[in-house]
Chains A and B, each alone.
Chain A
Amino acid sequence: MRVTSRGFIVFAVKGERYGLPLQVVAEVREPSRPVPVPRAPEFLCGAMNSHGRLVAILDLASLLGCRKTTPPGTFLVLDHSTANLALWVDGVEGFATEEGEGGADPPDNDFITRVVQSDRGAFKMLALDNVLKKMEEVFKQ
């Protein structure tokens, strides 16, 4: 598939469909056993060595207020210019392109920027910056 700036990766978390721009995801990989992180809040499963980077693993379902992700699931490793972070999600559906301009208004949730209509149907665009800010806020406590 041709990767464009309008391309997205769509994944599932507890039956809901979420998406991220393709350019922020570096790799989709099978989960490996994470190393426990000192003082980790519940949503942080641990960390792993990903090609020389120490990457934190976020249980996205737990952060979004759902029950914890059920193994095995999939790791979405983010590009290093975005964060040293992998999202643990239930599974990846595939790539999608946006249909038409804009999207529906954002739902009342800080972790979602908007609802995108795509060739794979509608999905919620994850507000990655807010996710990171929330994690950092909790880590500093």
Chain B
Amino acid sequence: MDMSPYRNLFFSESREHLRAFSELIVKMEQGVGSREDLYALFRSAHSLKGMAASMGYGGIAELSHSLEDLLDRVRKEELIFDTGIADLLLEGTDLLEAMIADVSAELQTARNIDDLVQRLATYQSVPSGPGVKSPASYSQSPAIEERESHDDAPQTVRVRTEVLDNLINITGELITNKHRLLTVGKELESTSLDEATVELSRLLRDLHSEIVLVRLIPFAAVADRFPRVVRDLAKKIGKEVVFEMEGAEIELDRGILEGLVDPIVHILRNAVDHALEVPADRNACGKPSQGRIKLVVSREKDQVVVAVVDDGRGMDPERLVSHAVENGFIGPEAGRLMTPGEAFMLICLPGFSTAREVGAVSGRGVGMDAVRSTIQTLGGNMTIESEPGKGSRFILRLPLTIAIINVLLVRLSLIAVAIPVTNVQRTLELKRSLIYMRGKQALFDLEGEQLPLLSLNRILGFPHGGAGELLPLFVCELKGRRVGLVVDSFIGQQEIFVKPLGRPLASMKGLGGGAVLGNGEVVFILDVANLL
């Protein structure tokens, strides 16, 4: 039988099993897993074995079988689930992931599984100690009999993600064309056309809402890797960490969710590496040995809020400001005017590092600029709260959907461009007489702060624009500095449907996407974080 049509299904399902597998292993190791979690682990290994065998992937089936055997010994209470078992199972998960990637890429790599299979088969638990849980102590749910989880699953179908992308694209086009019909209706003064367009608008609104809902997937779809990230790093650097997660059921756009993984991993790694103290230091200041990191996801109106909270050493805003002034990141006057919230954001400046130790794990504190840039590219923003000695809270606010965003439309000399409103701190019209020069740099004062004045036409390579007495400008942050960007005029604020640029325009620095306005005009959405 030709199994090739089932290959993609095998890859997506096996990866789902492995993701769930890793999360459950860490949960069991931390002693918070239930007997049902143990059964779920066993079932995943069993399913993976069966799927791989039916596809003819002998190595994957054999390794899955060995994992299943080890879990069976735990299930039968011959072994207790200890750190050694967790290590072996995670090693097996990594190897299976690599083997599946090989098969997916049609590589003929022969990976050696014999050593691991041998260690899985001969594993003996070490005597009980802290953190080790006997099987009898797993919390039991009312129904602990082994059952296939899909028995009572709701009716669902798998849809390829590009189909969803096409659907939202077509819907966006329909909305754009509806605006054209409205314009034509006004020109023709046709009541019947107006009525039909109004009805079309209502249907399109419903269609759009449904399509947006279809694209939403729960945070849990990417969350299962986070416990492992924390666990592995904590173990490597000798820290004790309890990791908790809340709100994994909250849904957000697939595109945003995929883009969020790297920033969250980076913040988590920084929290383990830099924020949490070693056990001795924690004890010395009256804290428990185990540090706590919490990942909390919640909904606020049309935004999703992701917060990473730790109970580590926290940050001192005054120390951050003095470091920034000493190293020339900001001037003394700007430093004096900074609020604590602004001071914490200094860690997002490229090259800014206050890490006590230069660790190989999270680099030299570098990377927070990339984190903020990614969040901004996703249409969101980041804020930081912290208290010395108590801990920090990194808060990421993201739109529910990436496809429709709120923008400020501005006119330049040759075209109109869109700036996501999340990047616009304020807009104003500046009298030319209030501009002064320092060297070749034009400056103006805003709320006691000296801001550089730049021409957006010039940055984008367009000819010089209008020359009125009042200069329209918006204030935003470029490379960690607040600046005023002069435009020709403001068109206004509106919601637009974002079109990805694709190849090759997606490589153009400073462009984040495109859109077609109701009048058919094409506009580019600026990626403000990468404009310079």
Contacts and interface: CB of A to CB of B under 8 A. Distances in A.
Contact of B503 (A37, A38, A52, A84): A84
Contacts of B502: 53-54, 80, 83-84
A26 interface: no
B503 A39 contact: no
Nearest to A137: B507
Interface string A69-105: 0000000000010011100000000000000000000
A9 to B, nearest CB: 20
A40 B522 CA distance: 16
B499 A53 contact: yes
Contacts of B508: 37-39, 139
Contacts of B212: none
Contacts of A48: 522
B417 interface: yes
A42 to B, nearest CB: 11
Nearest to A134: B504
Contacts of A80: 502
Contacts of A39: 460-461, 508-510
Nearest to B505: A56
A35 interface: yes
Interface stretch (B52-60, B167-175, B383-391): B167-175
Interface in A20-61: 35-40, 47-49, 51-54, 56
Contact of B501 (A36, A54, A135): A54
B503 A132 contact: yes
Contacts of B436: none
A45 to B, nearest CB: 13
B451 interface: no
A93 B461 CA distance: 36
B524 interface: yes
A136 interface: yes
Given A53-B502, A83-B502, A38 B524 contact: yes
Given A39-B508, A49-B522, A52-B172, A136 B503 contact: yes
Contacts of A36: 414-415, 462
Would you call the interface of chain A mostly helix, strand, loop, or mixed? mixed
B501 A84 contact: yes
Contacts of B415: 35-36, 38
Nearest to B523: A35
Contact of A47 (B172, B460, B522): B522
B520 interface: yes
Contact of A135 (B172, B504, B509): B504
Given A47-B514, A54-B501, A84-B501, A35 B522 contact: yes
Contacts of A51: 173
Measured as residues with beta carbon below 8 angstroms from the partner, the interface class of chain A is 20 to 34
A2 interface: no
Measured as residues with beta carbon below 8 angstroms from the partner, the interface class of chain B is 20 to 34
Contacts of A139: 504-505, 507-509
Given A37-B524, A52-B173, A47 B505 contact: yes
Contacts of B509: 39, 139-141
B516 interface: yes
Contacts of A141: 509
A56 B514 CA distance: 11
Nearest to A56: B505
Nearest to A131: B504
Interface in B483-532: 499, 501-505, 507-511, 514, 516, 520-522, 524, 526
Given A36-B414, A38-B511, A54-B499, A49 B520 contact: yes
A79 to B, nearest CB: 12
Contacts of A136: 503-504, 507
B63 to A, nearest CB: 36
B266 to A, nearest CB: 23
A54 B414 contact: no
A86 B514 CA distance: 16
A98 to B, nearest CB: 27
Interface string B106-117: 000000000000
Interface string B208-221: 00000000000000
Interface in B192-244: none
B460 A38 contact: yes
A28 B79 CA distance: 69
A83 B502 CA distance: 7
A38 B505 contact: no
Q: Which has the most chain A C-beta neighbours within 10 Å: B170, B461, B510, B526?
A: B461
Given A49-B516, A54-B514, 18 more contacts: A36-B462, A37-B511, A38-B415, A38-B462, A38-B526, A47-B514, A47-B522, A51-B173, A54-B499, A54-B501, A56-B504, A83-B502, A85-B503, A132-B504, A136-B507, A139-B505, A139-B507, A139-B509
Q: Which 8 A-B pairs have the closest CB atoms?
A: A84-B502, A38-B460, A54-B514, A136-B507, A139-B507, A52-B173, A135-B504, A139-B508
Interface of B: 169-170, 172-173, 414-415, 417, 460-462, 499, 501-505, 507-511, 514, 516, 520-522, 524, 526
Interface of A: 35-40, 47-49, 51-54, 56, 80, 83-85, 132, 135-136, 139-141
